[in-house]
Amino acid sequence: MSTTSNRIEIDSAEMPREGLKVVQASDVTGDRLELSADVVIIGSGAGGAVSAYELARRGLDVLVLEAGPYVPSRDFTEDFTESLETLYEDHGAQANTDGDLLVLQGRCVGGSTVVNGCVSFRTPDFIFEEWHSDYGLTDFTSESMAPYFERVERNLSIQENRPHEIARHSMVLSEGARKLGWSVKPFKRNIRECALTGHCLSGCKTERKQSMLVTYLPWAAAHGARIHSDTRVDRVLSENGRATGVEGRVVDREGRHIADIRVKAPRVIMAAGAVQTPVILQRSGLGNDQVGRNFACHPSFYVGARYPQPIHPWRGAMLGVYVDEFMHPDNGGFVLEVGGLGIAELCMINEPGTGKPFVDYMQKAAHMAGIVTLIHDHNVGEIRWQGDHKAIHYQLSDKDFPSMMASLKAAVRMHLAAGAEEVFLPSSEALSVTREADIDGQVDKLVNKPQHLRMVSYHPQGSCRMGTDPANSACDPQGRLRGVDGVYVADASLLPSSLIVNPQVTVYALANYVADRVS
């Protein structure tokens, strides 16, 4: 890398065996950066990295701008609290306006792919059918998208968990599902030689998780793509209805404004994620009135339970198996995923009671196991730039509350069938179940009001929906933002309806699809 007074140039380089060449705030010496590129990509996560590689290997001059820091894998600490600070949006505290739904997103080079649980699903057929019937997206079928899925599956070493990757929590809960006669399957994950540390959410220190940090980004860089971290894009620039570039700020990890940045580019790909992408577009005054609307997020419960035997939920592969018995909307429309967790999460995720009940609960931390519920939620939310901050307007809708409760009851049943002594309900008050006969009575005490339920979202999506009808979509079926030429969306914002399953593979495939159509 070489630096001139107000311009940074990156020497072309072969792909290093480890690490990534990134221009960070600490590399910037002037107070203004003026850059140009054929394509500028905002965001370096699932959508941005795949777009960068696919376009760079076609010979385009690609510039990737990432708002978060560059944290090499070796610097991951395997300390969840510390990882929230360095790797997550809003230091892990991004929440809806009611404060009862944490929206966890990665905010670092590699984005959420660095901190996710590696779970890899293709888009379910019934979701494609919904996109076809409700949004006119006839090009998206399992068959037409198969080459896209196969590419990313091979590139990211996606394979089904092998027996040694099924940790104790997953073995125990698999048995519970089998006793109930429910279909339970091993996850597929994007991982090479999983080291079974259980620290997926803090980043994979030894580079086994095939995140964008160790795959598509170094590959894109090998094809000449330039990557800047610590670079917050404020606006997409346009003239006469056509994109001309972006402008923003370089801000270091302490929040100091280091420089302004302006990039000239005829093509802009938005891949900042389903919260930031619409915010940037709204700040830019671009797109139609659908930008920011139709936000969905897979609101999830983490349903924890105490078992008589030690489980050690922090040991082994974090995600082992899932129950797909209820996945289709006709069967309930939810998925149960068996997931591990660490001590920091455990002390915050349940409300076992005050004082002694809490101490008793934590004393038995090694006996805990948990199930994450995912539902096919309606697109009822909205992301809105409020002038000086973003707002995530999302309340669990009354239409989705029954699905949430059905998923919760199923999770409780599964725990009890697996031999749990006590299942803790994800509520602000202490509620638990110890026998099947009490499930309905206890769960039915929950009501859909702010601060009553403890929910987490790992999958924000849908805020720049694609579709054929401008009245209900922000982007056309090729990912082009309506109302301005040269702006594309290539992240989870595009999803017309919520996926019900973990979205990373769908986003990779869609980003590849959009990149193929960038002209």
197 counts as binding another protein under rule CB under 8 A? yes
Range in contact with another protein (rule: CB under 8 A) among 160-168, 362-370, 375-383, 479-487:
362-370
Q: Which of 494, 489, 483 is nearest to 518 (CA)?
A: 489
Binders of another protein in range 487-516 (CB under 8 A): 512-513, 516
Three state DSSP letters for 465-493: CECCCCCCCCECCCCEECCCECEEECCHH
Range in contact with another protein (rule: CB under 8 A) among 116-124, 288-296, 444-452, 488-496:
444-452
Binders of another protein in range 200-239 (CB under 8 A): 205-208, 210, 214-215, 218-219, 222
**Member of 122, 199, 293, 409 binding another protein (CB under 8 A):** 199
Q: Which of 119, 203, 189, 96 is nearest to 372 (CA)?
A: 119
**Member of 32, 74, 162, 178 binding another protein (CB under 8 A):** 74
**Member of 2, 17, 163, 330 binding another protein (CB under 8 A):** 17
- Helices 168-179 and 401-417 meet at what angle, rounded to 10? 100
- Assigned token pair, 39: 């394509």
42 counts as binding another protein under rule CB under 8 A? no
DSSP H or E stretch at residue 184: strand 184-186
Binders of another protein in range 146-175 (CB under 8 A): 146-148, 150-151, 154-157
What strands lie across the sheet with 368-375, from one edge to the other?
A: 184-186, 319-323, 334-339, 368-375, 302-306, 422-424, 432-433
429 counts as binding another protein under rule CB under 8 A? yes
- Write the binding mask 75 to 114 for another protein: x where contact by CB under 8 A, - elsewhere: --xxx-xxxxxx-x-xxxx-xxxxxx-x------------
Residue type, 491: D
432 counts as binding another protein under rule CB under 8 A? no
Q: Which of 419, 207, 436 is nearest to 311 (CA)?
A: 419
For Cα atoms 478, 242, 136, give the angle at the middle one, nearest 5 degrees.
20
Q: Please identify, using beta-carbon distances, which residue of 2 and 354 lies nearer to another protein.
A: 354
Q: Please identify, using beta-carbon distances, which residue of 389 and 435 lies nearer to another protein.
A: 389
**Member of 131, 314, 458, 488 binding another protein (CB under 8 A):** 314
Please, what is the minimum distance in Å from the beta carbon of residue 335 to another protein? 25
Please, what is the minimum distance in Å from the beta carbon of residue 364 to another protein? 8
Q: Please identify, using beta-carbon distances, which residue of 148 and 334 lies nearer to another protein.
A: 148
Where do we find the tokens 């995140």? 211
16 counts as binding another protein under rule CB under 8 A? yes
Please, what is the minimum distance in Å from the beta carbon of residue 108 to another protein? 13
**Member of 365, 375, 420, 501 binding another protein (CB under 8 A):** 365
Please, what is the minimum distance in Å from the beta carbon of residue 58 to another protein? 8
Contacts 24+ apart (CB under 8 A), 177-182: 177/321, 177/323, 177/325, 177/336, 177/414, 177/417, 177/418, 179/417, 179/418, 180/413, 180/414, 180/417, 182/323, 182/325, 182/414
